[in-house]
A and B are shown apart, each in its own frame.
Chain A
Amino acid sequence: MKIVIMGCGRVGAMLAGRLSDAGHDISIVDLTASAFRRLPEGFAGTQIVGNGVDQDTLREAGIEQADAFVAVTQGDNRNVMAAQVAMHLFDVERAVARIYDPERQKIYTELGLRTVSPTVILSDRLFDAVVDP
């Protein structure tokens, strides 16, 4: 699969490395070039400096041929906007956005976006870690 990832923080970089190792064609976008140092050594994908909300940057990252798009920057608003651009303007089949705010996650799920909320997942895990025997 051709996959575009927006945001090369810890999560973005790790995900990019894992998907690349699994044989996928990865382009990763970040505002700052220094963010790419988080990528694993020997990362085979493409690195693009730019704003992933910008349609021209997404085109440069190959969004027009992409099968999937993942938005994992620190900003919920940026993530959902970019994922919706990928979905509605570039017809990317799988557009996924990280959303910290669980309330907004519900709204965007309703609008057909695939979403992951670290807040929900982490609190579930922590709950289990505390309560489970």
Chain B
Amino acid sequence: MYVIVVGAGKVGAQVVRELVTAGHEVLAIERDPAKVAAINEELGEIAILGDGPEVRVQDEVGMARADLCVATTGRDETNLAVCQVAQVRFHVPRVIARINNPKNEAIFRALGVELTVSATQAILAHIEQELPSHPLIHLLQLRGSGFELVEVMVPEGASTVGRRVDSIDLPPGVLLSLVVRPDGTPEVPNGETTLEGGSEILAVTQPEHETWLRRALTGGA
């Protein structure tokens, strides 16, 4: 694959390294001469100095034949412009944008940048996971489907402990995909599975049914 990476800061440089190691043809566009020099010294002449959203710059690096464009700068407006120029002017089949402010995800999606990676969101998800009392953790957005994958912890002593799955009033469309028992054993649940205190349940749900799902599984308010 020919991949063009815009931005060679900490995130971009690591993306470039991984892609080169994986055997892809990679070109990086970066505004800071020092960062361009650092990449070129480490990986050979694969970084050029330039402003990523500029049509002329994208033309020079052959955006028209790129299979993928990844915008990794620390500025959301730059990343959006990079993706829009690549898509509209050079018809790049796939674009990926780093999003720094999670609030901006909606505008990226509305404008057809389907694949976005938000470091802030990822860090938040990790923090949620590390907080033992957190009843519902967001694991993954299933893009395009309107569903998400979440993890719900059944607390010890919850009113739902000992109940069978088929006796629980689950929101419509929810799929309980996996139960991880307190000893770490995973199993695919069915109607006869009984809820156990300290187990974790992975479920696919629509975001608007999160609260209902959490209450149904934990009995909590």
A residues in contact (CB < 8 Å) with B: 53-56, 75-78, 80-82, 84-85, 88-89, 101, 103-104, 107-108, 110-111
Contact = CB atoms under 8 A, between A and B. Distances in A.
Contacts, number: 59
Given A55-B106, A88-B107, 15 more contacts: A75-B77, A80-B80, A80-B84, A81-B76, A81-B81, A84-B80, A84-B110, A85-B107, A88-B110, A88-B111, A89-B107, A104-B55, A107-B84, A107-B85, A107-B89
B75 interface: yes
A111 B107 contact: no
- Interface SS of B by simple majority: helix
Given A88-B111, A89-B106, A54 B101 contact: yes
Interface of B: 53-56, 75-78, 80-81, 84-85, 88-89, 101, 103-104, 106-107, 110-111
B77 A81 contact: yes
A78 B106 CA distance: 16
A103 B103 CA distance: 29
Contacts of A77: 53, 75, 77-78, 80-81
B107 A76 contact: no
Contacts of B104: 53
23 contacts: A53-B77, A54-B101, A54-B103, A55-B103, A56-B103, A76-B53, A77-B53, A77-B75, A78-B77, A80-B81, A80-B84, A81-B76, A81-B81, A82-B77, A84-B110, A84-B111, A85-B107, A88-B110, A89-B110, A103-B56, A104-B81, A107-B84, A107-B89
